Amino acid sequence: MTIQEELQDAPVKKERTRFSGILVHPTSFPSPYGIGDLGKGAYDFIDFLKETGTHIWQVLPLGPTGFGDSPYQGPSAFAGQPLIISPEKLLEKGLLKKEDLENIPEWNPRCIDYGPAIQYKTSLLRKAFENFRHTPDKTMLEDFAQFTTEQADWLEDYALFMALKDEHEGRCWLEWDKKYIDPSPAEKKKIAEKLSSQVRYYKFIQFIFQQQWNDILAYAHKNDVEIIGDAPIFMSLDSADVWANKKYFQLDSKGFPTRVAGVPPDYFSATGQLWGNPLYDWDYMKKTGYRWWIERVRRQLSLVDHLRIDHFRGFEAYWSVPADEETALNGKWVDGPKEDLFLALTDALGGDLPIFAEDLGVITPEVEALRDRFELPGMKVLQFGFGDLNDTSYIPHFYTTPNCICYTGTHDNDTTAGWYRVQPEVIKDRIRRYGNTDGGRISLDFIRFAFSSIAKYAIFPIQDLLMLGSEARMNTPGVPAANWCFRYLQSDLTQERREWLAQTTQLYNR
C-alpha cells in the first residue's frame, strides 16, 4: 500500500487538534546555486510535507543576515533575505537569461560557503536588476510601484540604509560620514535622490523576495501546510531599524548604546553571555503606543501563519549591562513592558495572537504568568529533559497542558544523534529504558516521543529525521564560525524516511 493510500484510509479529522512539523530553513534546501532558495527545493519540500501528512513548516528568521551569517543578527526586522531568491524563478520572469545560469560554480551540496555564495548570488541579482530597469513588462512595473507604496514605512529607510552601507564599504553606521549618521527627513530625501540607483536596487530585491515568498506561502496553504516564522527579540546595532529609529533604543547623543543585552551568570557560564544588542527604551515605545513592535509583528504575520519570538522572558524582565563592560557579570534585571505590549498587539491585530513563546532557560513564575495570560504556547525540548536527571519539566509524561510545542531539539542544539553519542551511560540507559529502544535510531525515537506527547505541536529539525550526527548541526552558540551552513540533498528524503514519517504521523494522530 502506498503512503497516499494509507493516508486516505485514515479516519477523517473534523478539526485537527494535534500537529507535527519540521524545522528547516530555506537556506538548507537542495539547490545548484550554493545556498538553498525558494525554487524547486522549496516546492519539493512542501510536497514532501503533504505526502507524509505533516502540516507545519518552521523556519528561522527570514530577514537578511549580518555578522557571522546569523539570521538573528540582521540589518532589518522587516526585510526579506536576498540570498534565498531563486535564480530559476528570475529566469521564468525574464529577469535572467539562460546564459546567466550556464556556468554555475561547483558547490559543496551539504554546506554553504557563504563568502563565495554571497558574491555569486549578488552578481545574479545585479543582472536581474539591470534587466528590470529596461523591462517592457508593464504589469511587473505596476506591481513594483504598488509594493514600494504599500511597504514604504520600512522599505524607504531600509533601502537607503543599505545604499549608504555600500557607500561606506559595509561599515557600521556609527562609522559613516557625520552627515549620514542622523539625517533629517529632508536630508534623507536628498541622499536618496543622490543614491537613487542603489536605493532602487534594494527596493527591487525586496519586491522580488516578496513575490517569490508569496508564491511559496500560497503553495503551502494549498497543501494544508502552515508556516511558523521566527523573530529575534533584539535588533542588531548595525541595522536600519536602530539607525532610523534611535529614540526607540537606549543610545547616547552620538548614537552609541548606553546599555546592552545579555543574560546573567548561570551554571553554564560564570560571567554570563554578553550579546551586545542595544536595549529598547520601553518608556518611549509605550508613549508611541508600541507602534514599531506592532508594525514589526504585523509584517511578519503577513509572511507566516505563526510567529515564534526569541527570548520571550525579556518582555517580563531583561538583563541590562553597561555598554562598556567586557562580560555580562555586572548587569541587572530591569522590568520589561510585560502585558502592556501584548495588550497593544492584541488591540491592533485582533483576536488571539498567533505567537509562540521561546521560554527556555531560567524562567520565573512571572514569565510563565505573562505567557499563560495570553495563552501563548511555550517550548519543551526533549534533549533538555533527558539530559538532566533532576529536570522533569521537559519529559513528555510530566506535561500538564497541550498548549505547548514539543521539540526534539532546536537550531541551537546538537542533532539528537550527535547529542546522544556524547551523553554519559547513565543518561543513555535512562533513555533506552524510557523508550524501550536499543538507541540505534535514537533521533527517530525522540521524534516518536514528541509525537506521543499531549503537546499540540510536535516539531523536529530535519536533521533528526535524516538521523544525522553533529556534522549537520545548524548552530553552536558562542562559536563564531562554521554555523548556519547545513544543507541536505533531495535524495536524503528516501522512500523509507517518507513511509516512516507518514506512518508515525498517522499512528499518533498528528
Beta strands (DSSP E) in 281-423 are 306-309, 317-322, 332-335, 355-357, 378-381, 404-407
Whole-angstrom Cα distance, residue 174 to residue 59?
Answer: 31
Which residues are annotated as catalytic?
A: 310, 358, 412
Residue type, 221: H
| Residue 282 vs residues 215, 237, 291: alpha-carbon distances, Å | 36, 17, 12
63 is written with which cell numbers? 530577514
Question: If you ran DSSP here, which 8-state letter would residue 443 be given?
Answer: H
What is the distance in angstroms between the CA of the first residue and the CA of the last residue of the chain? 20
Calculate ∠ Cα 220-222-226, nearest 5°: 40
Distance of CA 192 to the CA centre of its chain: 30
469 is written with which cell numbers? 550526527
Report the candidate in 411, 424, 405 with the shortest Cα–Cα distance to residue 463: 411
Per the CB < 8 A criterion, the answer to whether 285 and 344 are in contact is no
Cβ burial of 35 (10 Å; 0-12, 13-18, 19+) is: buried
Angle between helical axes of 196-222 and 152-167 (0-180°, round to 10):
130
Cβ burial of 254 (10 Å; 0-12, 13-18, 19+) is: exposed
Per the CB < 8 A criterion, the answer to whether 107 and 485 are in contact is no
Residue type, 81: Q
**Greatest Cα-to-Cα distance within the chain, rounded to the nearest angstrom:** 70
Quickly count: other Cβ atoms within 10 Å of residue 403's Cβ.
16
Question: If you ran DSSP here, which 8-state letter would residue 441 be given?
Answer: T
DSSP 187-218: HHHHHHHHTHHHHHHHHHHHHHHHHHHHHHHH
